[in-house]
Amino acid sequence: MPQKKNQEDEARAGSFAELERSTPRGASQAWWRRLIYLVVPPRRQRNRPTVAGWLLILIAISIGVVAYNTASNILFLVLSFVFALLIVNGVLSVLNFQKLDWDLSLPTESRARETITASLRLKNCKRFYSTRAVWFVVKVGKQESKRVYLKNRIPAGGSESVYFTFSCEKRGREKIRVEGPESTFPFGFLKKQTGAFVAKEILVWPAADPRPTRIPDPRRTTRMGGVHRRVGSGTDLLHLRGYEKGDPLRQIHWKATARTGNLMIRQMADEGSGSFILHVDCAESIWPDKDIFELLLSRASTLASRLFTQNRLDGYVFNQEGFRKVRHVSELNEFNDKLALAEQIPGRSRVSVPGANLVRFTPSDSGGVGLELGG
């Protein structure tokens, strides 16, 4: 029962208005109950004096003791002013939070060890009173909590977005919890906490591989089963031919020219002449080392994004699953989501995909991850 209750609490929307609506409809509309809320805060809300507030309370007690002993009317007036100041502070802080709706917005793409930007969307539903000087407490996983401040005033009926950044060291699911709003508005004597919170999960993709990965040369199969590559403007040398009028001088191969005595031109292979299929096998027999396994996932994710940007990613094969085609960003994100949750599995993948440009990831002799072009 306690675990179920905790899950229900985490699913609650984070807004002060939602806290008001959590009470019975008739009670929340009663004027006398609203007056009681100004003195005794409802459930989950807290009003705590700050250092300045405790100092003011101590001064008020001292003034009250002296006024009682001396029967001085001036001191009683001062005491009344101090109490009025505390009451006005409480009333204005309640009005500041009233009808303030907010929600947490997380990005659809996030990678480990990179800066992730999220936002809090705030809407002031009041008709006549603005909201200002509030903050929220953000906690990411087991990291230390930090405050996110509202810098601008939100006018009545207006809205504002508050952005904050964080990072995750590991891939996988990460829990983001935001509590608030909180404020010491207007005089700084009371710290008001609404007790509302929002808890969401974000799926963190593997970290980007900073090391350059050379993409294998694409191959094209002919009807007779042979392989050919087209002439283009890539970086791989296809073959040499004699100079013809109009050829760019930067394509001259000077070593071949000196050797043959005739001007020779380099012809480069077309990098976009073929698309690739990525095959990711998470078998523990292939990747017994966890660090190398994480490098595999990082390299697969980075290579998939790079090929998709170049319009050269045909699809992927993940473990025992069949071939999945990648046409849209959502399908690429689905592949990255699988890599974010991937684990080492027993047994090897037996899925076969016909095609000339099937890229497999294999352990390298240097202790890294290499690429192998199959077909």
Average model confidence (pLDDT) across the chain: 81
pLDDT confidence of residue 261? 85
Would you list the domain boundaries of the chain? Answer: 2-204, 231-269, 276-374
Q: What is the pLDDT of residues 48-104, one digit of tens each?
A: 889 999 999 999 999 999 999 998 899 999 999 998 988 888 888 888 988 899 999
Q: Is the pLDDT of residue 18 over 70?
A: no
pLDDT confidence of residue 40? 64
Q: What is the mean pLDDT of residues 11-20?
A: 41
pLDDT confidence of residue 147? 95
Q: Is the pLDDT of residue 167 over 90?
A: yes
Q: Is the pLDDT of residue 350 over 80?
A: no
pLDDT confidence of residue 195? 85
Q: Is the pLDDT of residue 19 over 70?
A: no
Range from 80-94, 234-248, 333-347 that averages highest in pLDDT: 333-347
Helix H, strand E, coil C: the string for the chain is CHHHHHHHHHCCCCCHHHHHHCCCHHHHHCHHHHHHHHHCCCCCCEEEECHHHHHHHHHHHHHHHHHHHHCCHHHHHHHHHHHHHHHHHHHHHHHHHCCEEEEEECCCCCECCCCEEEEEEEEECCCCCCECCCEEEEEECCCCCEEEECCCCECCCCEEEEEEEECCCCCEEEEEEEEEEEECCCCCCEEEECCCEEEEEEEEECCCCCCCCCCCCCCEECCCCCEECCEEEEEEEEEEEECCCCCCHHHECHHHHHHHCCCEEEEEECCCCCCEEEEECCECCCCCCHHHHHHHHHHHHHHHHHHHHCCCEEEEEECCCCEEECCCHHHHHHHHHHHHCCCCECCCCCCCCCCCCEEEEEECCCCCEEEEEEC
Q: Is the pLDDT of residue 298 over 90?
A: yes
Range from 4-13, 110-119, 233-242, 267-276 that averages highest in pLDDT: 110-119
Q: What is the pLDDT of residues 178-192, one digit of tens each?
A: 998 999 999 999 898
pLDDT confidence of residue 276? 87
pLDDT confidence of residue 355? 58
Q: Which fold has domain 2-204?
A: Immunoglobulin-like (2.60.40)
